[in-house]
Amino acid sequence: MSESADRIRNFVVAGHSSSGKTSLCDLMLFKAKAVERCGSVDQKTSVSDYTPEEQEKLSSIYSTALNCLWKETRFHFMDTPGYGEFIGETIGAIDATDAVIIVLDAKEGLGIGASRAWKMAKERGIPRIFFINRLDREMADFQKTLAQIQDVYGQTVCVPVTIPVGKEASFGKIVNVLRDKDFPQDIAKDAALAKERLMDAVAESDEALMARYLDGENLGEEQVSVGLQKAIRAGSLAPVFAGSVSKDIGVEDLMNAIVNLVPDPLAAGSRKFENGDELKLSADGQAYAYVFKTVSDHFIGNLAFFRVLSGTFKPDTEVYNATKREKERFGTILMMNGKNQSPMQSAAPGAIFAVAKLKSTGIGDTVSSAATDKVFAKTKYPNPVMCYAVTAAKSGEEEKISAALTKIAENDKTVKIEHHHETHELLLHGMGDQHISQIVKKLKNINKVEMVLSAQKIPYRETITSVGDGHHRHKKQTGGHGQFAEVYLKVSPNPAGYEFKNDIFGGSIPRNFVPAVEKGVAEAMAKGPLAGCVVQNITVSVYDGKHHEVDSSEMSFKIASRAAFKDAMSKAKPILLEPIQKVKVIVPDEYMGDITGDLNHKRGRILGMSVEEGLQVVTAEVPLAEMSKYASELRSMTQGKGSFEMEFDRYEMVPSNVARTIIETYKASQTEEE
Ligand SMILES: Nc1nc2c(ncn2[C@@H]2O[C@H](COP(=O)(O)OP(=O)(O)OP(=O)(O)O)[C@@H](O)[C@H]2O)c(=O)[nH]1
Ligand SMILES: [Mg+2]
């Protein structure tokens, strides 16, 4: 099947968890006759939520590519998870689309998942359309939800195109303010106001239309939809639709609006490459696509998901991965509906297609029909905010676990695997407890390995606050020849880092043993005397010593310098340093008090507060040691309405009362080991 770009619409369905996104996607597939029976999340028959993990959770974890044909228009769309910990999936999808349908639950109103979707789409200049769902529910309130989004995003921005008639159980239909002429009395005023605002938006986005409108001309539906599309693309309008997926009300109007109001894939005209050059979007010419998702599981194998930006891709062709600078070969080009695949004859701009078993193509790569060095900027993913140390439940399976986790991290850019060189732990970084527990399950079910999670060791460091002199004489007489070395050294603080100075005069330590002295110091610095942590910001000057013609050896000098270093450190007022994270917490207003109180309690320093897209943003600096469980703590403090980002900022001194406990614990563990 070949479809031209003007008959393709590419969009993402996003919003807060449980608002009915997946249900909406299943219903659209059914209404468009892409499936014979309507899939259901609750009955585990959803086309979109097809993995066992999602069916167990009754909620989406992955973004899923779907498609259907509606009014001779091919919808290529993605269902996304609303839950914040799976945001990597949502970002990848939004970065590759032309519009975002933000689904809201009419009872719950604007949730954090919807705010996040709005923000991501707005930052990328992607049009937004609201669908206020679940209007059949008790306590569902269209007007209240509408007022809420108008309050945050603007009264003339969020304008209803459809309005519900009736409430809760009596909600039976919607009216379309652009199409319908007669409105029930209780909503006639709202409908008139909405129509006026829509016409204003149309007029404002197009000067010629504005003049005709002001002249009193009654603009036809076609002119209106062209004008509305302009306003939507400019971001000055985010039309609002009402409905209930369960009762199949209002979804047809939404689908028609997707045809009429979502810009076609070439409408943007051009797209910037990473180097600033512009690609003129066209159905012909050199083809370009962007990889926004990869999957490797036993349902669908190893697949890379592409969004075509320009030109047309064909099956069984050689293509060029411009990011990796390597040739690749496309076999079958697949159109996906969840786990169901069907081959495509060609993929035009706007199309989403998948290809199996590529050599080296990964998320964020640009693939073209011919060789090029031009690539699109890679999607930016948030840093993971939660971390666990991982060990194998069965010894000997460490390698297998590490390999499986590395594979997962290739497909999920919000997962990071790290072999920490200071604490020697294998660390798994993710977005929260649920995200990490999905990874644990995947390894168990698919890779058949079990891992044990424990709190990560905080990579404290040690340094000194004054100068110290150290000395050690190593002397042992064992049987044959003995061991002898004597070292004098001085340590002093060095804000610039580490320096080793050889200040020996007159050969008291012969030149050939100085490297051994330096090695001894380096070894001692890797496991500092306070709590066994890496020592930093220090100058070590070796200035005297003694050697013996027969008994001195490299080993003796290493032993002596290690001990001399420890001696010097102990006299130089050593302190512990801890990693400090820059933290950004985003919460609704009502949680501000709890959040700031908690951050203070965590030894945090609040740096500032501001408002972004209707949510409060607190920035703070907090020790890493206090943040290990923050993802779950924030969730319970805010009923899931808060989110946060964090990244390492710097090392800072651990307050002495806290340091004392850390040092005592370390000393106790050392005596145990002995
Ligand atoms: N009453 C009512 N329930 C609905 C409606 N739409 C969806 N639901 C139910 O709401 C629940 C959540 O629906 P989903 O479609 O899984 O929601 P989602 O937005 O995909 O949620 P996540 O995948 O967790 O982000 C399910 O039990 C649906 O049956 C609706 O219009 N009315
Ligand atoms: Mg879902």
Tens-place pLDDT, residues 162-202: 999 999 999 999 999 998 988 999 999 999 999 999 999 98
Distance 10 CA to ligand 2 centre (A): 18
Q: Which residues contact 311 (CB under 8 A, 6 or more apart)?
A: 282, 283, 284, 285, 286, 287, 288, 349, 369
Q: 539-583: per-residue pLDDT in tens? A: 999 999 999 988 989 999 999 999 999 999 999 999 999 999 999
Sheet of 426-430: strand order equals 416-419, 426-430, 386-392, 451-455
DSSP assignment letter at 202: H
Token pair in block for residue 142: 């269209």
Which ligand has the nearest atom to the CA of 40?
Answer: 1
Residue 627 CA to ligand 2 center (angstroms) comes to 29
**The token pair that represents 503 in the structure block:** 């200040």
Q: What's the pLDDT at 220?
A: 73
**Domains of the chain listed by start with CATH number:** 5-195+235-267 (3.40.50.300), 271-368 (2.40.30.10), 386-451 (3.30.70.870), 462-572 (3.30.230.10), 578-657 (3.30.70.240)
Give yes or no for residue 112 having a pLDDT over 90.
no
pLDDT attached to residue 2: 59
Instruction: Give the integer Cα–Cα distance in Å for 106 and 231.
Output: 25
CA-closest candidate to residue 63, choices 21, 110, 24, 34: 21
b/e burial code for range 13-49 (CB count within 10 A of at least 16 → b)? bbbbbbbbbbbbbbbbbbbbebbeebbebeeeebbbb
Q: What is the pLDDT of residue 673?
A: 67
Phi and psi torsions of 355, nearest 5° = -130, 140
Whether residue 1 has pLDDT greater than 60: no
Query: Measuring CA to CA, which residue among 110, 58, 88, 115 is closest to residue 378?
Result: 88
Mean pLDDT score, 31-51: 96
Confidence of residue 613 (pLDDT cuts 50, 70, 90): confident
Q: Which two tokens stand for residue 285?
A: 């010419």
Q: Which ligand is the nearest neighbour of the Cα of 139?
A: 1
**Percent of all residues in the chain with a pLDDT value above 70, rounded to a whole number:** 99
pLDDT, position 91: 97
pLDDT classification of 649: cutoffs 50, 70, 90: very high
Query: Residue 116: CB within 6 Å of ligand 1?
Result: no
pLDDT value at residue 450: 95
Taking the centre of ligand 2 as the mean of its atom positions, its distance from the CA of residue 18, in whole angstroms, is: 7
**Mean of pLDDT values over 648-668:** 95
Q: Report the pLDDT averaged over residues 321-346.
A: 96
Partner residues linked to 472 by β-bridges: 487
Calculate mean pLDDT across residues 101-112. Answer: 94
Ligand 1 nearest atom to the CA of residue 42, by list position: 27
Name which of 11, 14, 133 is nearest 82 in CA terms.
Answer: 14
Query: 187 C-alpha to center of ligand 1: Å?
Result: 27
Residue 238: per-residue pLDDT: 97
Question: Which residues are close to ligand 2, an ion, with C-beta < 5 A?
Answer: 21-22, 60
Average pLDDT over residues 207-215: 83
**Number of helical H runs and strand E runs in the chain:** 16, 32
Q: How far apart are CA 278 and CA 285, in angstroms?
A: 14
For ligand 2, the distance from its centroid to the CA atom of residue 563, given in whole angstroms, is 61
pLDDT band at 223 (very low <50, low <70, confident <90, very high): confident
Question: Confidence band (pLDDT; 50, 70, 90) for 142?
Answer: very high
Name the strand (E) or helix (H) holding 487: strand 483-493
Per the CB < 8 A criterion, the answer to whether 123 and 137 are in contact is no
pLDDT grade for 297, boundaries at 50, 70 and 90: confident
Q: Which residue has the higher pLDDT, 216 or 340?
A: 340
- Can you list the pairs that 182-187 forms with residues at least 24 positions away whose Cβ atoms lie under 8 Å? 187/163
Is the CB of 107 inside a 6 Å radius of any atom of ligand 1?
A: no
Query: Which residue's CA is the closest to the ligand 1 atom numbered 30?
Result: 134
* Res 642 pLDDT > 60: yes
- Residue 335's CB is within 10 A of a number of other CB atoms, namely 21
Q: How confident is the model at residue 278 (pLDDT cuts 50, 70, 90)?
A: very high
